[in-house]
Amino acid sequence: MESFKPNEPGRSDIAHIGKSVVIKGELSGSEDLYLDGEVEGSIELRDHSLTVGPNGRVRANINANEVVVHGRIDGNISATGKVELRKSAVVAGDIVTQRIVIEDGAFFKGGIDIQKTNKDQGAARTSSASAQTSTPVTSVTTPGSSTAASTPAPGNRG
């Protein structure tokens, strides 16, 4: 899946919460969300993406498909797809996801647990059986001018 781009033309299906908005309570939805305001409580987007803008301040646990962070999050993140911490991100909490991208300069305090799907596990077993080895899958990408590390779901976890 491509990275979520809030200003991408034609993406009118994305909900926006502006930087002057403050929400306390449970925030849930079934569409992608760009959040540049403040939320305290919980965020539930299930199969959709959340982007926390540079002015975004979140004190909540988050469940979503993809989470892209430019702002600040105090809380746990659970993503079925990917988590991206951009260079301006400040995140304190635990992250459970299949893939994570962290740009150099991001601040993170907490734990990262890379989960993999049943499909990945099956592929890993097949790969391991055929190659008789378990090479870690690690790659480094460079989005824009900054350095980032990308961690796909590892293929050697039981």
Partner 1 sequence: MTNFLTRLFRGQSSANHDPSAQGGEVPSRRSSGLGELTRLLKGSESLAILDLGPTSPANITHFTGLGHRVYNEDVLLAAQNPDYKLRNDQGGGINVDRFFQENLVFRNVKFDAVLCWDIPDYLAEPLVKPMIERIASVMNPKGYLLAFFHTKDAGPDAPYYRYQISGPDTLRLQRGPQFRLQRVFNNRHIENLFHDYASLKFFLARDNVREVLVVR
List of residues contacting partner 1 (CB under 8 A): 72, 74, 88, 90, 92, 100, 102-114, 136-138, 140, 147-151, 154, 156-158
Shortest Å distance, C-beta 88 to partner 1: 8
Nearer to partner 1 among residue 14 and residue 112 (C-beta)? 112
Residues in the chain: 158
Nearer to partner 1 among residue 15 and residue 147 (C-beta)? 147
Q: With beta carbons less than 8 A apart as the criterion, state whether 29 and 47 touch.
A: no
Those residues whose C-beta lies under 8 Å from the C-beta of residue 27, and which sit 6 or more positions away, are 39, 41, 42, 43, 44, 60
Nearer to partner 1 among residue 105 and residue 122 (C-beta)? 105
Shortest Å distance, C-beta 15 to partner 1: 25
148: nearest Cα among 84, 70, 71: 84
